[in-house]
Structure 1
Amino acid sequence: MAFLELTKSAKILDLQTTVRVILPDIIEPKKELPVIWLFHGLGDNGSAWARKTNLEQLVSTKDWVIIMPDMGRSFYSDMTYGGKYWQYLTCELIPQMQNLLPISQNPADNYVVGNSMGGYGALKLAFSYPEKFRAVAAISPVVDLKVVPTIMSDYQGVFGENGVFDSQNELLAIAKQAPVKDLATIKLFQIIGDEDFLKEDNDRFHTEIASVPIETDYQVLPGNHDWIFWNEAIKKVLDWLNHI
């Protein structure tokens, strides 16, 4: 596999940012490859998945492209006091990567995956644009934003004084606003450790998301909210993606 590290100007963010990409060494001319948009969690950046797991080896036999952007501490949102990261992701990053790399824009070939804060971002993106993705996998995701003030001292920079409790940011509300015919076409894989402090939230979210027409697979495995668990979980996710 090849590993690219692209440092570029992000016009919407008005700063230099980095995007990391894993792709096959050999790509047939004009071939458009399936793509996994892989999101990092709070306190990490786009290098985390490549540095802290054996991701490159796990996809070494696949014709997949893995795209790992830097999304800061944004919760994949337009920050109240900071960068417009949601606009950057949806209006700038994804279109740029589609123009630059040999990746398919066919929804059947697009998957979005993330852990913790990135799990929230993956679910938010898939629920906001279900017509653009085949599947979403959320690893130990933040699914209830009420927990954010307890894990993020600077949360007001993203959500403002009361924004963390604003229903427009809630995943279930976003999913319920999506067209039923589009949401019904994507699959959801949700995985969490049995000792994870977010497990109760995830249990509840799994029950609540049954109210929308999306096919779900929820797994609780031994583990905590850490890279020991996520290194094993990404294997489960990749195997799931390979068989849907």
Structure 2
Amino acid sequence: MAFARINYFSRSLGKASSVTVVFPDDPAVPRPWSAFYLLHGLSDDDTIWARRTSVDRYVEGLPLIVVMPDGGRGWYSNAAVGFAYEDDLVKDVVGLIDRTFPVKAERAGRAIGGLSMGGYGAVKVGLKHHEMFGSINSHSGAVGICQADYHKDERLKGIGGELDRIFGPDPKGGKDDPFAIVEKLDHGRIPPMRLDCGKDDFLLGQNRAFHAHLESMRVPHEYEEFPGDHNWPYWDLHVQEALAFHARNLHIRK
């Protein structure tokens, strides 16, 4: 596999940004390729998945590129006050990849996933823009962030002001809340979705609640809990299952 870190000007952010891409370097791998948009967590950047996991080894031989954008601390959302990271992803990054690489520039050729903040982002963006993505996964996702009282939650209250700036004062049920988004979608328009979380993860409650919400609406999805915490050994292990999930949904194989 080959690596590229692309520096580009994001019109949505009004500033320079970057995206890391892992792509096939074997001429025998057939084209066009599918694209897996893999999102990082709150404290990281576009390089972290490539540095902390073996994702490049896991996709070896597949007609698939892994696109890892820099989401800053923006929750892959268009902030009430601040940057438009959702637009950056779905307009600037996807547009750049579609123009630059020999990819299937269509829903059937795109998957989206991520961890923690990126797990939330993958679910939220994948549902809102279901016409763009054919498969969704989340590891340890903060999928209930818009439902949480983060000014009282000991693990979240330190960033409560930051979350207010991004989501506004009352995000529950709003445009960035996956619980509300999924309620408004026809089930036939919801992409295949897989959620997993570690049994010792502080976000386990949010994942169980979202899983129960999906079940209550009879939305088909995969949900699994595994031994593990909110850390890289967990994500390096379970991204392999996510890749197999996306490969099935996008009909790709070695």
TM-score (norm 2): 0.88
Q: Is the 8 A contact 1:30 1:102 kept in 2?
A: no
When residues 89 and 7 of structure 1 are mapped into structure 2, their CA distance, relative to the original with a 3 A threshold, is: same
Q: Distance in 2 between matches of 1:29 and 1:2?
A: 13
Shift of 1:182: 1.5
Aligned to 1:176: 183
Show structure 1 runs of 4+ deviating over 4 A.
Answer: 27-30
Aligned to 2:138: 138
Query: Which of the residues 155, 158, 172 maps onto 2:166?
Result: 158
Q: Distance in 2 between matches of 1:87 and 1:166?
A: 20
When residues 63 and 204 of structure 1 are mapped into structure 2, their CA distance, relative to the original with a 3 A threshold, is: same
Aligned to 1:206: 211
SS of match in other structure, 2:175? helix
Q: Distance in 1 between matches of 2:205 and 2:107?
A: 32
Shift of 1:143: 1.3
The letter for the 1-side match of 2:205 is E
Aligned to 2:196: 191
The letter for the 2-side match of 1:10 is S
The structure in which a higher percent of residues are helix is 1
Query: Which of the residues 228, 245, 250 maps onto 1:240?
Result: 245
RMSD: 2.0
When residues 208 and 19 of structure 1 are mapped into structure 2, their CA distance, relative to the original with a 3 A threshold, is: same
- Write out aligned runs for 1:26-105 (5 A): 26-27=26-27, 31-105=31-105
SS of match in other structure, 2:72? coil
Q: Distance in 2 between matches of 1:118 and 1:72?
A: 10
Deviations 1:28-83 (A, max 9, x none): 79932111011111111111100110111111121111100001001111122321
- Write out aligned runs for 1:98-117 (5 A): 98-117=98-117
SS of match in other structure, 1:132? coil
When residues 100 and 82 of structure 1 are mapped into structure 2, their CA distance, relative to the original with a 3 A threshold, is: same
Gaps of 5+ in 1: none
TM-score (norm 1): 0.91
Aligned to 1:12: 12
Gaps of 5+ in 2: 250-254
Shift of 1:212: 4.2
Q: Is the 8 A contact 1:188 1:214 kept in 2?
A: no
Q: Distance in 1 between matches of 2:200 and 2:228?
A: 6
Q: Is the 8 A contact 1:78 1:87 kept in 2?
A: yes
Q: Distance in 1 between matches of 2:14 and 2:80?
A: 15
SS of match in other structure, 1:189? strand
Q: Distance in 1 between matches of 2:185 and 2:247?
A: 26
When residues 59 and 148 of structure 1 are mapped into structure 2, their CA distance, relative to the original with a 3 A threshold, is: farther
Q: Distance in 1 between matches of 2:14 and 2:27?
A: 33
Q: Distance in 1 between matches of 2:150 and 2:47?
A: 23
SS of match in other structure, 1:155? helix
Aligned to 2:122: 122
